[in-house]
Chain A
Amino acid sequence: MTGWSIPLADGGRQALAAGGRLSLELPAAERETLTDRLLADAYQQARQYKMRQPVWLAADGGLISNLKAWENTVLLASLRDDRFAAALEPEVAALVALLPEPPGGWSRLFAATAAALPLPEKRLIGLLRSILAKPELMLLDGRLLRYPDFVGNYWQPLLPQLQACTLILIHDAGGETPSGWTALSWPASLPESHENAAAA
């Protein structure tokens, strides 16, 4: 297997195309558990097939509140690839050059403690952190794309950086699927995996 796959309820797997955009509908009551399950499965696959580890982008950015915004930004890339934070500065500079400057400037934003940041900036830092990790698979909370300021200011300008990354948007049943995304629901509408088809 060369691509990513997501688990089906019966244990089969559905391979994902590289760079695909999936919108996965999960039952609200099991959303958190199933998200954990999807991620655990993706990490296992990453280890098994020696692929880059996936990333998770939470609706609130998923930052560590007692770290500075800069420390949050470089945390994942630095830990995964054993890179020094200073070496990531040019990459961050290239990314923020694509974005509108926040009030007070970038230095104010990156020097602030995550707990002190307003929610839109927390989401931005979460997104920058995810992109810096150079993922091949990214799972993101579907609520993120319901915030027009996030989508307009940060998501759209930075989306080209994720061209080669498979994205899975996770949202509750009944949520709208954005245009250009393939809608799936858990687990009934997932097409039968190659493995299941072969077994049949």
Chain B
Amino acid sequence: MAFGVIRALPQLSLEQVRRVLYKQVYFSGFEALTLIVIVAMAIGGIIVGQLHFTFGQSGEGALQMLALILLGELAPVLIAIIMIARSSSAMASELAAMKVNGEIRNLQRMGIDPAVYLVMPRVLGLMLSSLMLTIYLAFIAIVTGAVIVAGKSALVELVLLLANANVVLLLTCLLKSMVFGWAMASVACQRGLAAGSDFNDIPKAASAAVIRCLLVVFVLDGCFIAAKALL
């Protein structure tokens, strides 16, 4: 299923398929923004506060460590956990409900491939949302951290941080967030479409999707860490 998305990509030229993609990005990405802003401010404030005020790290050093922690690990993993709780469970239960109500069969009987109409736009939507939210989270957390350690000189600290930016770290972070998004959506769709005809299968699919998505994200993160160690 995960690789079927690539095969179905040309169908994005269809308006109805794009609508499903837009809805997915709206639900997973846009509607989650308020939560992400709050979490990002808390993360940035807590980490920089601890490093600067408790452990005596310099303002610039604390900010650099925050950026390293966020881009290296925390931002994509935290976004993945939030998205698993918000979107993967919802996606699995939505598809399971469609399966239980016979709507998947109806689509197939109309000659509409669920992989094209339901799965591909959802997987792509979650990938894009994961990418965007990771950028938002990292950006807002770093800005919050800069304001806490430097106050009115926050902009100077941010410019300094940008001048020393590690491009490889940044690109790895973005790649990781997209891979997590792809994996979460694929697992959620697979669990949802695997539901039977019993209404009890809907909560079971949601629960199974959450557990499996968490496992898959941690395994993939382990793979990224192992690859980084080997290279």
How does the 8 Å CB contact mask read for B57-101 relative to A, with 1 for contact and 0 for none?
000000000000000000000000000000000000010011001
Q: Contact at B14–A79, with CB atoms within 8 Å? A: yes
Stretch touching chain A among B28-36, B105-113, B206-214 = B105-113
B164 interfacial by beta-carbon distance below 8 Å: no
User: Residues of A within 8 Å of B, CB-based: how many?
Assistant: 25
Which single residue of chain A is at the shortest CB-CB distance from B94? A66
Tell me whether B14 and A82 are in contact (CB under 8 A): yes
Cα A76 to Cα B112 with chains together (Å): 8
A158: Cβ under 8 A from any B Cβ: no
- Beyond contacts A62-B106, A64-B107: 20 other A-B pairs, Cβ-Cβ < 8 A, are A35-B109, A36-B109, A39-B109, A39-B111, A56-B106, A56-B110, A64-B98, A65-B97, A65-B101, A66-B98, A71-B19, A74-B16, A76-B112, A78-B14, A78-B15, A79-B17, A79-B112, A79-B117, A82-B14, A83-B15
Q: Chain A residues near B109: list those with CB within 8 A.
A: 35-36, 39, 56, 58, 62
Sample of 10 A–B contacts (CB below 8 Å): A36-B109, A39-B111, A64-B106, A65-B98, A65-B103, A71-B19, A75-B112, A76-B110, A76-B112, A79-B17
Contact of A82 among B13, B19, B108 (CB under 8 A): B13
- In the bound complex, do residue B13 and residue A64 qualify as a contact, i.e. CB atoms below 8 Å apart? no
Residues of B within 8 A of A80 (CB): 111
Contacts from B to A (Cβ < 8 Å): 13-17, 19, 94, 97-98, 101, 103, 106-112, 117
Considering the chains assembled together, what is the distance between the CA atoms of A84 and B106 in angstroms?
22
Measured in the bound complex, the distance between the Cα atoms of B107 and A80 in whole Å is 13
Q: Is the interface of B mostly helix, strand, loop or mixed?
A: helix
**Is A53 an interface residue, CB under 8 A from the partner?**
yes
- The chain B residue sitting closest to A36, CB to CB, is B109
Chain A residues with CB under 8 Å of B103's CB are 62-65
Residues of chain A contacted by B110 (CB below 8 angstroms) = 55-56, 62, 76
CB distance from B188 to the nearest CB of A (A): 16
* CB interface residues, A 92-133, toward B, < 8 Å: none
Q: Are B111 and A43 neighbours in the complex by a CB distance under 8 Å?
A: yes
A173 contacts the other chain (Cβ, under 8 Å)?
Answer: no
Q: In the complex, what's the smallest C-beta–C-beta distance from A148 to chain B, in angstroms?
A: 24
With both chains docked as a complex, state the minimum distance between the C-beta of B108 and any C-beta of chain A, in angstroms: 8
The answer for the CA separation of A111 and B16 in the assembled complex, in Å, is 17
Q: Is the CB of B98 within 8 A of A85?
A: no
Query: Are the C-beta atoms of A85 and B106 separated by less than 8 Å?
Result: no
Number of A-B contacts (CB under 8 A): 53
State the A residues within 8 Å of B (CB): 35-36, 39, 43, 53-56, 58, 62-66, 71, 74-76, 78-80, 82-85
- CA of A64 to CA of B103, assembled, Å: 6
**A83 contacts which chain B residues (CB < 8 A)?**
15
Bound-complex Cα distance A58 to B104 (A): 13
Task: List the A side residues contacting B13 at CB < 8 Å.
Answer: 82
Q: Let me know if B111 and A53 touch, CB within 8 A.
A: yes
Determine whether the beta carbon of B16 is less than 8 Å from that of A75: yes
Q: Which residues of A contact B117 (CB under 8 A)?
A: 79
Give A188 Cβ to nearest chain B Cβ, in Å: 25
Query: Whose C-beta in chain B lies nearest to the C-beta of A81?
Result: B14
Name the residue among B16, B17, B101, B117 with the largest chain A CB count within 10 angstroms: B16
Whole-angstrom distance between the alpha carbons of A55 and B106 in the complex? 10
Q: Which residues of A contact B111 (CB under 8 A)?
A: 39, 43, 53-54, 80
Least Cβ–Cβ distance between A146 and chain B, in angstroms: 19
State A74–B16 Cα separation when bound (angstroms): 9
**In the complex, which residues of chain B have a beta carbon less than 8 angstroms from the beta carbon of A53?**
111
**CB nearest to A77 among chain B residues:** B16
Interfacial chain B residues near A78, Cβ < 8 Å: 14-16
**Nearest CB in chain B to that of A129: its residue:** B110
